[in-house]
Copies of this chain bind each other. A is one copy, B any other.
Amino acid sequence: MFDRKEKILIVGLGLIGGSYAQGFRRAGYYVGAVTRSQESIDYALENGLIDSGTNRPDREYISKFDLIVFSLYPKTLLSWIKENQAMIRPGALLTDVTGIKCSVVYEIQGMLRPDLEFIGAHPMAGREVYGVKNADADIFVGANYIVTPTLSNTPAAIEACSQVGRILGFGRIVRLSPEEHDEMIGFLSQLTHCIAIALMNSRETEHLAQYTGDSFRDLTRIARINDKMWSELFLMNKKALLKEMDLFIEQIKKIRDAVQADDLQLLQDMMRKSTERRICFDKK
Protein backbone atom coordinates (compact mmCIF):
# COMPACT_ATOMS: atom_id res chain seq x y z
CA MET A 1 0.00 0.00 0.00
CA PHE A 2 2.79 2.41 0.88
CA ASP A 3 6.41 1.63 0.12
CA ARG A 4 9.83 2.74 1.30
CA LYS A 5 9.77 5.88 -0.79
CA GLU A 6 7.09 7.27 1.53
CA LYS A 7 8.25 9.57 4.26
CA ILE A 8 6.96 9.11 7.77
CA LEU A 9 6.56 11.85 10.38
CA ILE A 10 6.26 11.13 14.09
CA VAL A 11 4.59 13.90 16.08
CA GLY A 12 5.51 13.54 19.76
CA LEU A 13 8.79 11.79 20.50
CA GLY A 14 8.09 9.98 23.75
CA LEU A 15 8.43 6.31 24.59
CA ILE A 16 5.93 5.15 21.95
CA GLY A 17 6.72 7.80 19.33
CA GLY A 18 10.44 7.07 19.68
CA SER A 19 9.84 3.32 19.42
CA TYR A 20 7.75 3.81 16.25
CA ALA A 21 10.56 5.95 14.82
CA GLN A 22 13.14 3.30 15.55
CA GLY A 23 10.96 0.54 14.09
CA PHE A 24 10.26 2.43 10.84
CA ARG A 25 13.86 3.46 10.42
CA ARG A 26 15.10 -0.10 10.93
CA ALA A 27 12.63 -1.13 8.20
CA GLY A 28 14.28 1.34 5.81
CA TYR A 29 11.92 4.32 5.90
CA TYR A 30 12.82 8.01 6.04
CA VAL A 31 11.61 9.17 9.48
CA GLY A 32 11.10 12.77 10.60
CA ALA A 33 9.89 14.09 13.94
CA VAL A 34 8.11 17.06 15.44
CA THR A 35 8.31 17.35 19.19
CA ARG A 36 8.47 20.19 21.71
CA SER A 37 11.80 19.32 23.29
CA GLN A 38 14.96 20.01 21.29
CA GLU A 39 16.76 17.66 23.68
CA SER A 40 14.54 14.77 22.54
CA ILE A 41 15.29 15.56 18.89
CA ASP A 42 19.02 15.70 19.57
CA TYR A 43 18.88 12.37 21.39
CA ALA A 44 16.85 10.75 18.59
CA LEU A 45 19.23 12.04 15.92
CA GLU A 46 22.33 10.93 17.81
CA ASN A 47 20.89 7.49 18.42
CA GLY A 48 19.68 6.92 14.88
CA LEU A 49 15.97 6.91 15.70
CA ILE A 50 15.15 9.64 13.15
CA ASP A 51 16.61 11.17 9.99
CA SER A 52 15.52 14.72 10.80
CA GLY A 53 13.48 16.60 13.36
CA THR A 54 12.18 20.00 14.45
CA ASN A 55 10.67 21.47 17.58
CA ARG A 56 8.61 23.97 15.58
CA PRO A 57 6.25 22.72 12.95
CA ASP A 58 6.42 24.69 9.67
CA ARG A 59 4.80 24.09 6.30
CA GLU A 60 8.03 23.40 4.47
CA TYR A 61 8.98 20.58 6.83
CA ILE A 62 5.54 19.05 7.53
CA SER A 63 4.47 18.98 3.90
CA LYS A 64 7.29 16.55 3.02
CA PHE A 65 5.54 13.65 4.76
CA ASP A 66 3.09 11.07 3.41
CA LEU A 67 2.24 9.33 6.68
CA ILE A 68 1.94 11.11 10.01
CA VAL A 69 1.76 9.18 13.29
CA PHE A 70 0.59 11.19 16.29
CA SER A 71 1.96 10.06 19.64
CA LEU A 72 0.59 12.82 21.86
CA TYR A 73 -1.70 13.08 24.89
CA PRO A 74 -5.29 13.07 23.59
CA LYS A 75 -6.11 16.76 24.16
CA THR A 76 -2.77 17.85 22.72
CA LEU A 77 -3.43 15.68 19.68
CA LEU A 78 -6.79 17.37 19.02
CA SER A 79 -5.38 20.88 19.30
CA TRP A 80 -2.30 20.02 17.20
CA ILE A 81 -4.47 18.93 14.31
CA LYS A 82 -6.76 21.93 14.65
CA GLU A 83 -3.84 24.35 14.59
CA ASN A 84 -1.51 22.66 12.11
CA GLN A 85 -3.52 20.62 9.62
CA ALA A 86 -3.20 23.39 7.03
CA MET A 87 0.51 22.48 6.68
CA ILE A 88 -0.07 18.84 5.78
CA ARG A 89 0.37 17.67 2.17
CA PRO A 90 -2.90 16.82 0.39
CA GLY A 91 -3.55 13.09 0.33
CA ALA A 92 -1.45 12.35 3.43
CA LEU A 93 -2.58 9.61 5.80
CA LEU A 94 -2.80 10.36 9.53
CA THR A 95 -2.91 7.83 12.35
CA ASP A 96 -2.31 7.80 16.12
CA VAL A 97 -1.41 5.62 19.11
CA THR A 98 -3.96 6.92 21.65
CA GLY A 99 -5.32 4.53 24.28
CA ILE A 100 -8.93 5.62 23.79
CA LYS A 101 -10.62 5.95 20.44
CA CYS A 102 -14.21 7.29 20.18
CA SER A 103 -13.55 10.78 21.47
CA VAL A 104 -10.34 11.11 19.45
CA VAL A 105 -11.24 9.45 16.16
CA TYR A 106 -14.68 10.99 15.56
CA GLU A 107 -13.49 14.40 16.73
CA ILE A 108 -10.56 14.42 14.31
CA GLN A 109 -12.52 12.98 11.41
CA GLY A 110 -15.13 15.68 11.99
CA MET A 111 -12.69 18.58 11.71
CA LEU A 112 -10.17 17.25 9.19
CA ARG A 113 -9.65 18.75 5.74
CA PRO A 114 -11.47 16.63 3.15
CA ASP A 115 -8.23 15.90 1.26
CA LEU A 116 -6.68 14.19 4.30
CA GLU A 117 -7.61 10.92 6.00
CA PHE A 118 -7.29 9.96 9.66
CA ILE A 119 -7.55 6.35 10.88
CA GLY A 120 -7.19 5.42 14.54
CA ALA A 121 -4.85 2.74 15.88
CA HIS A 122 -3.83 1.55 19.34
CA PRO A 123 -0.55 -0.29 19.82
CA MET A 124 -1.13 -2.28 23.05
CA ALA A 125 2.42 -2.05 24.25
CA GLY A 126 4.27 0.06 26.73
CA ARG A 127 6.70 0.19 29.58
CA GLU A 128 6.57 1.69 33.06
CA VAL A 129 9.16 4.28 32.06
CA TYR A 130 8.74 7.33 29.87
CA GLY A 131 10.48 9.42 27.25
CA VAL A 132 12.38 8.89 24.03
CA LYS A 133 15.47 7.71 25.94
CA ASN A 134 13.56 4.55 26.79
CA ALA A 135 12.36 4.02 23.22
CA ASP A 136 12.68 0.42 22.09
CA ALA A 137 10.95 -0.98 19.01
CA ASP A 138 11.19 -4.47 20.52
CA ILE A 139 8.27 -3.70 22.86
CA PHE A 140 5.95 -4.28 19.88
CA VAL A 141 7.09 -7.82 19.21
CA GLY A 142 4.22 -10.16 20.00
CA ALA A 143 1.90 -7.35 21.17
CA ASN A 144 -1.60 -6.52 19.89
CA TYR A 145 -2.08 -3.73 17.37
CA ILE A 146 -5.67 -2.55 17.06
CA VAL A 147 -6.93 -0.65 14.02
CA THR A 148 -10.22 1.19 14.64
CA PRO A 149 -11.74 2.22 11.31
CA THR A 150 -15.02 4.12 11.00
CA LEU A 151 -17.46 4.46 8.11
CA SER A 152 -15.50 7.42 6.80
CA ASN A 153 -12.30 5.42 6.29
CA THR A 154 -11.27 4.06 2.88
CA PRO A 155 -10.17 0.45 2.35
CA ALA A 156 -6.76 1.79 1.27
CA ALA A 157 -6.28 3.61 4.57
CA ILE A 158 -7.38 0.58 6.60
CA GLU A 159 -4.87 -1.56 4.75
CA ALA A 160 -2.08 1.02 5.08
CA CYS A 161 -2.73 1.32 8.81
CA SER A 162 -2.62 -2.45 9.23
CA GLN A 163 0.64 -2.44 7.29
CA VAL A 164 2.10 -0.07 9.90
CA GLY A 165 1.44 -2.79 12.48
CA ARG A 166 3.13 -5.41 10.32
CA ILE A 167 6.18 -3.20 9.63
CA LEU A 168 6.63 -2.63 13.36
CA GLY A 169 6.47 -6.36 14.06
CA PHE A 170 3.30 -6.57 16.15
CA GLY A 171 2.21 -10.10 17.02
CA ARG A 172 -1.42 -9.69 16.09
CA ILE A 173 -3.26 -7.06 14.08
CA VAL A 174 -6.93 -6.75 14.99
CA ARG A 175 -9.77 -4.58 13.75
CA LEU A 176 -12.35 -3.18 16.19
CA SER A 177 -14.84 -0.34 15.98
CA PRO A 178 -13.89 2.66 18.18
CA GLU A 179 -16.85 1.71 20.43
CA GLU A 180 -15.74 -1.92 20.83
CA HIS A 181 -12.20 -0.75 21.51
CA ASP A 182 -13.23 1.69 24.22
CA GLU A 183 -15.44 -0.85 25.97
CA MET A 184 -12.64 -3.42 25.99
CA ILE A 185 -10.07 -0.88 27.22
CA GLY A 186 -12.52 0.43 29.82
CA PHE A 187 -12.72 -3.01 31.38
CA LEU A 188 -9.29 -4.56 30.85
CA SER A 189 -7.13 -1.52 31.40
CA GLN A 190 -8.85 1.56 32.81
CA LEU A 191 -10.97 -0.23 35.43
CA THR A 192 -7.96 -2.21 36.65
CA HIS A 193 -5.98 1.02 37.01
CA CYS A 194 -8.88 2.56 38.98
CA ILE A 195 -8.87 -0.44 41.30
CA ALA A 196 -5.16 -0.21 41.96
CA ILE A 197 -5.43 3.53 42.64
CA ALA A 198 -8.41 3.05 44.97
CA LEU A 199 -6.63 0.28 46.86
CA MET A 200 -3.52 2.37 47.47
CA ASN A 201 -5.69 5.32 48.51
CA SER A 202 -7.81 3.34 50.93
CA ARG A 203 -5.42 3.37 53.90
CA GLU A 204 -1.94 4.19 55.13
CA THR A 205 0.14 1.30 53.88
CA GLU A 206 3.76 1.97 54.69
CA HIS A 207 3.95 -0.29 57.76
CA LEU A 208 2.30 -3.11 55.78
CA ALA A 209 4.91 -3.29 53.03
CA GLN A 210 6.99 -5.74 55.03
CA TYR A 211 4.19 -8.34 55.01
CA THR A 212 3.30 -7.98 51.35
CA GLY A 213 3.16 -11.07 49.21
CA ASP A 214 3.25 -11.30 45.43
CA SER A 215 -0.52 -11.07 44.95
CA PHE A 216 -0.79 -7.59 46.49
CA ARG A 217 2.37 -6.49 44.71
CA ASP A 218 1.07 -7.72 41.33
CA LEU A 219 -2.32 -6.12 41.85
CA THR A 220 -0.92 -2.70 42.70
CA ARG A 221 1.99 -2.52 40.25
CA ILE A 222 -0.13 -0.28 38.01
CA ALA A 223 -0.87 2.10 40.91
CA ARG A 224 2.32 3.87 39.79
CA ILE A 225 0.74 5.88 37.08
CA ASN A 226 1.33 8.93 34.87
CA ASP A 227 -1.38 11.13 36.38
CA LYS A 228 -1.48 13.72 33.57
CA MET A 229 -1.99 11.19 30.80
CA TRP A 230 -4.29 8.72 32.56
CA SER A 231 -6.64 11.34 34.00
CA GLU A 232 -7.20 12.59 30.42
CA LEU A 233 -7.72 9.06 29.14
CA PHE A 234 -10.25 8.30 31.91
CA LEU A 235 -12.31 11.43 31.25
CA MET A 236 -12.22 10.98 27.47
CA ASN A 237 -13.61 7.47 27.89
CA LYS A 238 -16.14 8.50 30.51
CA LYS A 239 -19.18 6.65 29.24
CA ALA A 240 -17.51 3.25 28.81
CA LEU A 241 -15.45 3.57 31.99
CA LEU A 242 -18.44 4.52 34.16
CA LYS A 243 -20.34 1.52 32.86
CA GLU A 244 -17.48 -0.85 33.74
CA MET A 245 -16.94 0.78 37.14
CA ASP A 246 -20.61 0.43 38.00
CA LEU A 247 -20.63 -3.26 37.07
CA PHE A 248 -17.57 -3.84 39.24
CA ILE A 249 -18.83 -1.80 42.20
CA GLU A 250 -22.05 -3.80 42.13
CA GLN A 251 -20.11 -7.07 42.38
CA ILE A 252 -17.72 -5.95 45.12
CA LYS A 253 -20.75 -4.77 47.14
CA LYS A 254 -22.38 -8.13 46.54
CA ILE A 255 -19.34 -9.83 48.10
CA ARG A 256 -19.37 -7.30 50.94
CA ASP A 257 -23.01 -7.98 51.69
CA ALA A 258 -22.50 -11.74 51.49
CA VAL A 259 -19.72 -11.48 54.09
CA GLN A 260 -21.96 -9.33 56.28
CA ALA A 261 -24.83 -11.84 55.96
CA ASP A 262 -22.62 -14.95 56.45
CA ASP A 263 -23.77 -16.13 53.03
CA LEU A 264 -21.23 -18.93 52.49
CA GLN A 265 -23.11 -20.26 49.47
CA LEU A 266 -23.08 -17.00 47.53
CA LEU A 267 -19.39 -16.45 48.27
CA GLN A 268 -18.56 -19.93 47.04
CA ASP A 269 -20.66 -19.46 43.89
CA MET A 270 -18.83 -16.24 43.05
CA MET A 271 -15.45 -17.85 43.73
CA ARG A 272 -16.26 -20.79 41.47
CA LYS A 273 -17.34 -18.42 38.72
CA SER A 274 -14.19 -16.31 39.01
CA THR A 275 -12.03 -19.45 39.02
CA GLU A 276 -13.74 -20.80 35.92
CA ARG A 277 -13.62 -17.51 34.02
CA ARG A 278 -10.00 -16.84 34.91
CA ILE A 279 -8.81 -20.06 33.27
CA CYS A 280 -9.03 -18.68 29.71
CA PHE A 281 -6.75 -15.78 30.69
CA ASP A 282 -3.75 -17.96 31.38
CA LYS A 283 -0.92 -17.40 28.96
CA LYS A 284 -0.90 -20.02 26.26
Residues of A within 8 A of B (CB): 124, 144, 146, 172, 174, 184, 187-189, 191-203, 205-206, 208-213, 215-228, 230-232, 234-235, 238, 241-242, 244-256, 259-260, 262, 264, 267-268, 270-275, 277-281, 283
Contacts and interface: CB of A to CB of B under 8 A. Distances in A.
Number of copies: 2
B275 A259 contact: no
B268 A220 contact: no
Task: Give the interface SS of chain A, mostly helix, strand, loop or mixed.
Answer: helix
A188 B202 contact: no
B262 A235 contact: yes
A247 to B, nearest CB: 4
A174 to B, nearest CB: 8
A256 B251 contact: no
Contacts of A272: 227
A225 B275 contact: yes
11 contacts: A187-B202, A187-B203, A188-B208, A203-B244, A215-B221, A224-B275, A227-B275, A235-B259, A235-B264, A241-B259, A245-B252
Contact of A256 (B187, B206, B222, B242): B242
B184 A274 contact: no
Contact of A278 (B192, B220, B278): B220
Nearest to A143: B213
A139 to B, nearest CB: 12
Nearest to A266: B231
